[in-house]
Amino acid sequence: MTTRPGSRLYPLSRVYKLKDEFFPSPGLSDFKDSLTSINLYYPVLLYIFIPEIKKPHIFMNPGSSADDGDPAKPLSLSSYSFLMAVFLLTLASCTERTGRKEPVPGPDSAYLKRQEKKAKDSLAALTRKKKKIYLTFDDGPNKGTRNVLGVIEEEKVPASFFIVGIHTTDTRQQQETWELLQADSTIELCNHSYSHARNRYTSYYEEPGIIVNDFNYSKEKLGFKNNIARTPGRNAWRIGSIDHTDIYESKAAIDSLHSAGYAVMGWDIEWTFDHKTLAPDADTALLLRRIYNLLEAKKTKTADHLVFLAHDQAFQKAEYVEELRYVIQQLKNNPEYELMLASEYPGIR
């Protein structure tokens, strides 16, 4: 390989050495950024490189083969200068584009408002107090009581059974049902009198002493563990500040029952049934809508608390049992509701 006198090789390694001299790593990025901010990056590259290429150098362009015999021809200095400038500028441009992050458009005001509302709604749902519903079943034990108990156990919900004392011994089947009720620790048993007034309500409430004796006898015989009572044939309340009597002529007798130490619980809504066929009202959608409306309008005896009444004898047939299951599932699965025992009602001690 030959060179012109007075010239010297300028290998490519020298180019990289120059880069390291003027842009030592890792300061290159910082140095480049500072220059770029005032649009001096590319001019500085040219300023560094052009003085070097004005010196007498020969850049060797090797032949296609070592055996050709022809000496390597020197590459034009101006051509090399142009190519090297393009190379460095392209390299710098690519590096700059690679490190640049595209701006992410910010959310518009409508989107932010929707997100803010969603967050507030979620927080309100977490902090909102659930409305309490008390499932109560009257007149057991009778032919439908086991079916009701089965649904309560399968759905794993709390429920309170208001027991008529005389029904615990009327038949062998009723006695066995009473034993099943007593053995279930997940439910609550409450006093619904011993005689159920023998369905002669007018005379039953004429003498205050009659009702007190009847409830006391039932409590003594059945061993109730609470003082919650429901009067037969009357929707009466004596709990805390609640004092309600649906039929005024019964007021004195019910007052006497309360004075004897009983918390008298009526109901906010009743799932009615046909007293001849014993079939419950089939319109379960209406029943559930009424429950919702009463709670929303705060028209229950205690706001956000609803006492639900049904009767065991209405659920003797399989189709009616499934209706009961459906209603309970709808109440249980509603995130705004919580099912409770009668003894958890506000004001009951």
Q: Supply the mean pLDDT for the chain.
A: 81
Tens of pLDDT, residues 263-321: 999 999 999 999 999 999 999 999 999 999 999 999 999 999 999 999 999 999 999 99
- Mean pLDDT over 60-71 rounds to 46
Tens of pLDDT, residues 223-237: 999 999 999 999 999
**Is the pTM value of this prediction over 0.85?**
no
CA 336 to chain centre: 11
Contacts of 310 (CB under 8 A, 6+ apart): 135, 136, 137, 138, 148, 270, 271, 280, 324
Tens of pLDDT, residues 32-53: 454 444 444 445 444 454 554 4
Place of tokens 């409305």: 131
How long is the chain?
349
Strand pairing category for 263-264 and 228-229: parallel
As a whole-number percent, the residues of the chain with pLDDT over 70 amount to: 67
